[in-house]
Amino acid sequence: MADEAPRPDDTVRRAIEKLDRAIRGLGSYHMNACVKCGLCGETCHVYLAEPDPANLPGAKATEVMNIYRRYHTFLGKHLPKLVDARDATPETLDALVEPVYGRCTACGRCSLHCSVGLDVSAVIRAGRNMLAESKRVPEGLQRTVDNQIETGNQMAITREELISTTEWLTEDLQTEMQDDSVRIPVDKKGRRVLYLINPREVKFFPLSLMAAAGVFHAAGESWTLSSKFYDVTNYGYYSGDDDSATELTRRVMEEARELEVQEIILSECGHGFRSFRWEGPNWIDRAYPIPMRSVLQLLEEYLEQGRITVDPSKNTDRVTLHDPCNLVRWGGVSEPQRRVLRQVVCDFQEMTPNRADNFCCGGGGGMLSMSEYGERRVASGRVKADQIEKTGARIVATPCHNCADQLIEISKRYKLGVDIQAVVELVYSALV
């Protein structure tokens, strides 16, 4: 006997429509392929740290798929109990928040190792799309998105603060490089490169911005920052709010056009790279008129072309490399950072596993913004801590400031005693 779905209220109806659009984008193949074999647990850092069935990637995805089935499959529509299909109601949407935000960093490691091959992280993001549409994004994550939309950057840094930071960084850089011509240019029209940075570089990791400026100067690069839209992050991607993600992409492209640059270079940021490089053109529904690359690819180019000279003996400590999921697994950038590091450090030691197989640090998916899941986030970092410990490294290079925050925290928690550095910082240290 057919079991009619109740008439949803307006918020829930919009969430259902959002799910329709999300699965149309990725193809709903992935919603129909899970065989619930349960083998995915060991691929997930959250499950490994806390082996609760609710942390199985398949179980988390099933929470989204159960709602999908109710509206998109024959059995889900007519015999919902047979396939556990669930109506989208305020209650079921509330219950979806923890599985898709609190138990998953959407790192997608399970997607690559799924016995069938379904993209679990895409299913999870479809769930986030629904929750973002129905205003159920966890408060801290939503606040970060709001900051970006309202102020142009996720940390609500004022223009004055940015300018002030670039000024004192310039002074420090001139002293360090013993060169008064070094500048951190802001809002300069007609430069070759617009450099997007993580606002954390302004607030917490100024050495990273200083290092990049030093390397650009050494390479004779023509570049500028923008004081309006310089944020390489895109928290709309994490929250599932495609409208905000689209707006942030559009603003950056407009700013690049205003400044008449020839290329956009993205600072070391995993999800920022994925958002702008891969998702952005599809959000705005057209190809970018300006090319875009990661700074890692630019650094490799400098070394290849001899535009900078480096001496690895300036970095004698053992260095290992963390592969940010969105840069490597979902961004396809795994080798430039390795080729760069091999030239700028004496002792480079890979983690195992690495590259696309690498484990998430635990801080992805917007986890760092959601304090309610903080304890689970740090606990899930145990897997990464073990990986780091086995390398015997003194320095962990990580081309992502979001990962850097988490790695600093797990280094303290698990007493790893390692320094966390951006790749560009190691390049800067090796400049001759």
Partner 1 sequence: MLGIARTLAALGCLWVIGASVTQLAGAWGGGRKDHSQPQGAPRRGVLYNLTAAMLPTHKETVRHHLIEFAAGMMLHAGVLMVLLGAVLAVIDPDVGTAVLHISRPIAGLSLLIGVILLARRIFSWTLRSMSSIDDYLAILAVIGLLLLATGFGGGDGNLTGLLLYTALLLAYLPLGKLRHAVFFFAVRIDLGRRLGHRGTYPPPTESPHGR
Alpha-carbon Rg for the chain, nearest whole angstrom, is 22
Query: What character string, x for contact with partner 1 (CB under 8 A) and - otherwise, covers 287-326?
Result: xx--xx----------------------------------
Q: Does 58 bind partner 1 (CB under 8 A)?
A: yes
The residue count of the chain comes to 432
Contact call for residue 25 and partner 1 (CB under 8 A)? yes
Burial of residue 336, with CB atoms counted within 10 A of its CB: 0-12 exposed, 13-18 middle, 19 or more buried: buried
Size of the site for partner 1 (CB under 8 A): 72
Where does this chain touch partner 1 (CB under 8 A) — which range of 143-151, 228-236, 246-254, 273-281? 273-281
Using alpha carbons, list the distances in angstroms from residue 389 to 32, 321, 384, 410, 422: 40, 12, 9, 11, 19
Q: Out of 12, 15, 16, 40, which residue is the one contacting partner 1 (CB under 8 A)?
A: 40
43 touches partner 1 (CB under 8 A): yes
**In whole angstroms, how close is the CB of 57 to partner 1 at the nearest point?**
10
Of 10, 160, 285, 375, which lies in the binding site for partner 1, with binding defined by CB under 8 A?
285
For the CB of residue 163, give the shortest distance to partner 1 in the complex, in Å. Answer: 33
Decide if residue 56 touches partner 1 (CB under 8 A).
yes
Cis peptide bond upstream of 291, omega within 30: no
Exposed e or buried b per residue across 355-366, where buried means at least 16 C-beta atoms within 10 angstroms of its C-beta: ebebbbbbbbbb
Which residues are paired to 264 by β-bridges? 194, 292
Site for partner 1 in 343-402 (CB under 8 A): 350-358
28 near partner 1, judged by CB under 8 A: yes
We find the least distance from the C-beta atom of residue 71 to partner 1, in angstroms, to be 13
Q: Does 275 bind partner 1 (CB under 8 A)?
A: no
Pairwise CA distance, residues 228 & 199, whole Å:
12
Which of the residues 112 through 151 are near partner 1 (CB under 8 A)?
A: 112-119
Cβ-based nearer residue to partner 1, 81 or 189: 81
Q: Contact between 254 and partner 1 (CB under 8 A)?
A: no
The reply to whether 335 sits near partner 1 by the rule CB under 8 A is yes
- Does position 13 bind partner 1 by CB under 8 A? no
Pick the binder of partner 1 from 3, 14, 26, 389 (CB under 8 A): 26
Cβ 258 to partner 1 shortest distance, Å: 21
- Smallest distance, partner 1 to C-beta of residue 285, A: 7
| Amino acid identity, position 375 | E
Residues numbered 68-97 forming contacts with partner 1, rule: CB under 8 A: 73-75, 81-84
Per rule CB under 8 A, is residue 270 in the interface with partner 1?
no
* Spatial CA neighbour of 129 closest among 5, 275, 21: 21
- Which candidate, 262, 265, 204, places its Cα nearest to that of 230? 265
Residue from 328, 395, 410, 422 touching partner 1 (CB under 8 A): that is 328
Under rule CB under 8 A, residue 6 binds partner 1: no
CA–CA separation, 333 and 312 (whole Å): 23
Q: Which is nearer to partner 1, 300 or 405 (CB)?
A: 300
**Least Cβ distance, residue 185 to partner 1 (angstroms):** 26
Q: Between 215 and 319, name the residue whose CB sits nearer to partner 1.
A: 319
- Encoded one letter per residue, x for contact with partner 1 by CB under 8 A and - for no contact, window 151-180 reads ------------------------------
Shorter beta-carbon distance to partner 1: residue 199 or 331: 331
Strand partners, 197: 231
Choosing from 16, 19, 46, 59, the residue that interacts with partner 1 (CB under 8 A) is 59
